[in-house]
């Protein structure tokens, strides 16, 4: 079972920090290259009112798609530092769920984190 992704996942959070991207920059696709994560994303609007208020509106892209790269080693280091600082699971940043897939209709979807069994707690 998957749920919609409303909070950011580790690679998106790391990419925003590393490349000084705005808070509405969202990832739409990840892939693994040798020694690198390839991250594709853009800025998206959010719903202002209604039951989805505050959530990402995947039909409202505000910037061209960008492709960014983060070395695996850097990302692992960043996750460890984050988990230490916050005392939460380093795989999902304490959300209890991790990236599953993205589609224009459904947006980003997640699945339960295998590292913490969906609790978000540090091991």
Nearer Cβ to Zn ion (25/99): 99
Alpha-carbon distance values, 101 to 9, 28, 105 (Å): 12, 8, 12
Minimum distance between the CB of residue 117 and Zn ion, rounded to whole angstroms? Answer: 8
Task: Give which of 55, 78, 52, 47 is closest to 5, Cα–Cα.
Answer: 55
Q: Which residues bind Zn ion (CB under 5 A)?
A: 89, 91-92, 113, 115-116
Minimum distance between the CB of residue 90 and Zn ion, rounded to whole angstroms? Answer: 8
Nearer Cβ to Zn ion (33/117): 117
Nearer Cβ to Zn ion (66/118): 118
Minimum distance between the CB of residue 19 and Zn ion, rounded to whole angstroms? Answer: 24
Minimum distance between the CB of residue 99 and Zn ion, rounded to whole angstroms? Answer: 12
Q: What are the tokens at 48?
A: 């202002």
Alpha-carbon distance values, 8 to 4, 34, 35, 120 (Å): 11, 24, 23, 14
Nearer Cβ to Zn ion (21/113): 113
55 and 45 Cβ atoms separated by less than 8 Å: no
């Amino acid at each position: 079972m998957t749920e919609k992704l409303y909070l950011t996942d580790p690679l998106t959070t790391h990419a925003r920090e590393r490349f000084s991207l705005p808070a509405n920059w969202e990832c739409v696709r990840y892939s693994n290259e040798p020694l690198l994560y390839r991250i594709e994303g853009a800025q998206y609007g959010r719903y202002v009112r209604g039951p989805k208020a505050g959530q990402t509106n995947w039909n409202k892209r505000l910037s061209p798609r960008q492709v960014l790269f983060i070395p695996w080693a850097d990302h692992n280091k960043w996750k460890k530092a984050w988990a230490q600082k916050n005392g939460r699971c380093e795989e999902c940043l304490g959300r209890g769920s991790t990236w599953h897939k993205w589609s224009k209709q459904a947006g980003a979807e997640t699945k339960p984190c295998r590292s913490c069994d969906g609790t978000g707690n540090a091991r």
